Amino acid sequence: MIWKISMHEISMLGLMLSSAICGVTALTKIKSGVMDMVEWELFNFMSTSIVMTLLLDWVSLLFMSFVFAISGSVLFYSGSYMSGDKTFNRFMYLVLAFVLSMSFMVLSPNLISILLGWDGLGLVSYALVIYYQNEKSANAGMLTILSNRIGDVAILLSIGLMSSLGGWNFLLYSYYMGESWFLLKVLLMISAMTKSAQIPFSAWLPAAMAAPTPVSALVHSSTLVTAGVYLMIRFSAALEGSSVQKALLIISCLTMFMAGLGANFEYDLKKIIALSTLSQLGVMLSILSLGYSDLAFFHLLSHALFKALLFMCAGVVIHSVGGYQDIRFMGNLIKFMPLTTSYMTIANLALCGFPFLAGFYSKDMILEVAFMSWVNFIALFLYIAATGLTVMYTLRLIFYSLSGEYNLCSISNLSDEDFTMTNSMGVLGLGAVVGGSLLSWSLFPELYMICLSDIMKMMCLLISILGGFIGYMLNIMSVNYKLKSLYNYSLVSFLGSMWFMPALSTLKMSEKSLETGGFMEKISDKGWFEFYGGQGLYYLFSYCFYILNYMQLNSIKVFMKMSVIMIVIFMILVI
């Protein structure tokens, strides 16, 4: 009997093996406290070494272990999800190229060599977003690539500013940057904000849901969007006590609140999950801006497990209901798809911070540390409101898709019989249950000292219960009562549209900026710069060389003229 192993199975086995190796190595490095750094000097320029640096410490190896594990599960899942696609091999190569770019980005602590992975992420993510090659994908891809190019330009400007330090190893030099390096810190913050879709660059993340669902599970939940957070974690020493840290706290808290509000008014299944990702990115950057980079890294890892699982469950549901993504067309799926809905419920509860699931350990610790920190009332209110909104839109999603009435207009094949998809979700399902506790025991053998009053200690639980009650009960009542949002349509339109950021990013501001850019290119690159730059210098040098060439020709007439001129000049000088 001949066994045939497909490409997605080979990729899954290789990535899972790599994940196990990286995970075991990271755990040994946590125990020993040793890190390895490899530097390859490419060339010297103006007494500055241009080097390719690879850093193998517990942070990078543990992150790589999670990236490989999630990528392996997603690729195995894609073997069934994308089975009808004629260009499946192209999809596999793009995903593997994305994993390679992510590896370069994670393992490099050098601002120049990180570009190899940073730009690779932007390019491959654009190719994945436009994978279906329709108008919606093209628009989403253009918004994605243009938003990320802002961060790429900020990285390039940071390289120019950092050259005065004599090197670009930000892990080394970030400890010596005072307030005089304010502009460099701002540029790095902007680059991290664009990759992690913070305000005002938030519009591209929900738009990128035009990509296939496996891409959303890998790219837009656990890897690409966390690249900015990872850069800030590595650069956290330079942010300590600076005004950039305070600005990042305000922006991340607003992003967290805005995404939670928007998800409560959204009906697209994938966009609800994308907005929840955006909200959790705000949580990570907000706690990082308070000075707890290790907690941000902890939440980054635990969030990757249950959010990738949530996207994969959403893909199975969308497949089963005939391609619908509107949650109003679903309902009562728990009777038809018990295994998928079980995984989805576990992921949703982990997102809410249900006790002893993956999200509980990181999210509860983040909220308690934030309540204990010196934050003002506005930041405290945004933390509390975002926590309640998270439970609210999660219970709303569960009501509409899993436990409500069966609303499908057409008869679909609702079943859990696709074992390739369900088996691939098993690894992440296990991670969503026990991943948080294992990470907590490994990373924090000595927990933080939490000293809060009884009211503040119970605040998270009370807000979660209130949010869940509002999110579930109000949607039950909305079936039988008039829709109150129609009476406040302007307010609902503002809150449910991410504060008009998609409209501003795609229509008015982008048109004006593109027109201004085209005008500047016309009068500068194709105008004065060309006249006095490349083409002007070319004609000037050509004319000068023509004269020199003419003077050096063996022409008697020229020699006679030159002799006469020289004699006249000599006579004038003598006289």
Per-residue model confidence as pLDDT tens digits over 122-162: 888 888 888 888 888 888 888 888 888 888 889 889 888 88
Residue 450 pLDDT level (bands cut at 50, 70, 90): confident
Which tokens is 81 given? 């999800």
Average pLDDT over residues 265-274: 87
The predicted pLDDT at position 1 comes to: 41
Judge residue 108's burial from the number of C-beta atoms within 10 Å of its C-beta, 0-12 exposed, 13-18 middle, 19 or more buried. Answer: buried
Give strand pairing partners of 110.
169
The predicted pLDDT at position 217 comes to: 84
* Domain ranges for the chain: 256-308+315-485, 542-575
The predicted pLDDT at position 39 comes to: 81
- Considering 130-144, 413-427, 491-505, the range whose residues carry the highest mean pLDDT is 130-144
Average pLDDT over residues 332-336: 81
pLDDT in tens, 153-201: 898 898 888 887 777 877 777 777 777 788 888 898 899 889 888 888 8
The 10 Å CB-count burial string (b at 16+, else e) for 445-460 is eeeeeeeeeeeeeebb
d(CA 205, CA 201): 9
The predicted pLDDT at position 481 comes to: 56
Residue 536, Cβ neighbours under 10 Å: how many? Answer: 13
Closest CA to 372 of 383, 362, 361: 383
Q: How far apart are the first and last CA of the chain?
A: 109
Sequence-ordered list of residues with C-beta below 8 angstroms from that of 505, at least 6 positions apart, any chain: 143, 147, 200, 201, 203, 204
The predicted pLDDT at position 410 comes to: 53
Residues 50/72, Cβ–Cβ less than 8 Å: no
Percentage, residues of the chain above pLDDT 90 = 1
The predicted pLDDT at position 21 comes to: 86
d(CA 471, CA 396): 5
The predicted pLDDT at position 554 comes to: 64
Q: Which residue's structure tokens are 């945004």?
A: 382
Which tokens is 217 given? 């599970």
Closest CA to 280 of 257, 251, 310: 257
Residue 68, Cβ neighbours under 10 Å: how many? Answer: 23
